[in-house]
Amino acid sequence: MIEKLKVFLREAKVEIKKVTWPDRKITTASTVVVLVVTFVVGIYLGVVDALLNQLFRLVLS
């Protein structure tokens, strides 16, 4: 069992060295896009939630 784990970790290390990692500029740009989209979707969902809340209060009252 331990030997299989050692082999797996050795092979994983070899595969990780083959990966082409993005540079800092691409990583930063991607992070900014994710943060902006997350913020916009959060605002959108908050507005929809507030509108539906008001609608249900109106219907149920």
Please check whether residue 11 lies inside any domain of the structure.
no
pLDDT for res 32: 99
SS3 61: coil
CA 59 – CA 53 distance, rounded (Å): 10
Quick: pLDDT tens for 3-61. Answer: 999 999 999 999 999 999 999 999 999 999 999 999 999 999 999 999 999 999 999 98
Cβ–Cβ under 8 Å, residues 30 and 22: yes
Please check whether residue 8 lies inside any domain of the structure.
no
CA 45 – CA 6 distance, rounded (Å): 47
SS3 24: helix
Please check whether residue 7 lies inside any domain of the structure.
no
Range of the domain at 54: 22-61
Please check whether residue 1 lies inside any domain of the structure.
no
Quote the number of domains for the chain.
Answer: 1
Nearby residues of 24 by Cβ (< 8 Å), 6 or more positions away: none
